[in-house]
Amino acid sequence: MSEWLILSIAMVAACAVVLAVTLLSQRRRAARAEGAEPHQAQTPEVLEYMTMMIGVIYAIVLGLAIAGVWEARSAAQDDVRREAQALHEITQRAEVYPRAVQETLREDIESYVSYVLREEWPRMVKGEVLPSRGAELIDKLREDIAERAPADDLEAQAYQPMLERVAITDDARNERAQNAGATLPAVVWFGLIIGALITVGLIFTMRLGRSTRELVVAGLFSALIAFLLFLVWDFDAPFGRAGAGTDTAEAFRQLFPGATQGL
């Protein structure tokens, strides 16, 4: 199920529930209070003030949650870009080496990129521990660079920077492995969901349903809450929820199109 479909279902369901409950509540109140005085249908000012304050507090908490998951997603993308760029620079610096060495290094890098996107990425989406195969591929790339002594000045100038880029790749992979999985703990999600139910539930204390405009506002408010919770849920996976096809892996797809075909 796509993320857009999940969002659409969540927003429509939230609107439908709020509108249905509001209409039923309004009809029951009208049936019970046909002979009541007009002032009895008014909402107390204290209740309005409390509703406003609860809404403000929940908005602050929800904003902090969105900022937290957004920062985690941005950090994950930076690690991926750093890793992909380091590998790309190795291929560029290897152009001063003989053709056979260039091909060997290119095969090492493409094998690593293909393994990352096809094997490691699904594990990161699920929050699982990465296997050691990725580290072994990096070690093989390091060995292929280190075992060949530079034959001239150009190769000598490229030799040490290439080894440094391998170290950057290894460090970025470790950061990527540590950042895999959900950002927000379960207790935060519990607070967000309970807060959403309380905030939306307070709509029913405001005696809405007396006009179409009030119903529209109530529906839009509930849809907004559903959208923001979906936003937090989607960004709570730093490396996406759709595998290597997400925007987080875009750096690998741009710099190594040959190794990412079919993804």
Helix axes 212-235, 45-93, angle to 10 degrees: 30
In a domain, 16, yes or no: no
In a domain, 236, yes or no: no
In a domain, 224, yes or no: no
Rounded CA-CA distance 107/102 in Å is: 9
Rounded CA-CA distance 115/118 in Å is: 5
Give 84-104 pLDDT, tens digit per residue: 999 999 999 989 889 999 899
pLDDT band at 66 (very low <50, low <70, confident <90, very high): very high
Number of domains observed in the structure of the chain = 1
Tell me how many helices (H) and strands (E) the chain has: 9, 0
In a domain, 1, yes or no: no
DSSP assignment of 128-163 equals PPPPTHHHHHHHHHHHHHHTS---SHHHHHHHHHHH
Predicted TM-score (pTM) of the model is: 0.75
In a domain, 214, yes or no: no
Taking residues 240-250, report their average pLDDT.
71
Q: Is the pLDDT of residue 131 over 90?
A: no
158 is in which domain, residue-wise? 44-208
Q: Is the pLDDT of residue 141 over 90?
A: yes
Rounded CA-CA distance 195/54 in Å is: 9
User: CB–CB of 239/125 below 8 Å?
Assistant: yes
Give 190-206 pLDDT, tens digit per residue: 989 988 888 887 776 66
In a domain, 18, yes or no: no
Q: Is the pLDDT of residue 209 over 80?
A: no
CA angle 165/169/175 to nearest 5° reads: 140
Q: What is the CA radius of gyration of the chain?
A: 28
Rounded CA-CA distance 128/182 in Å is: 11
In eight-state DSSP terms, residue 239 is: T
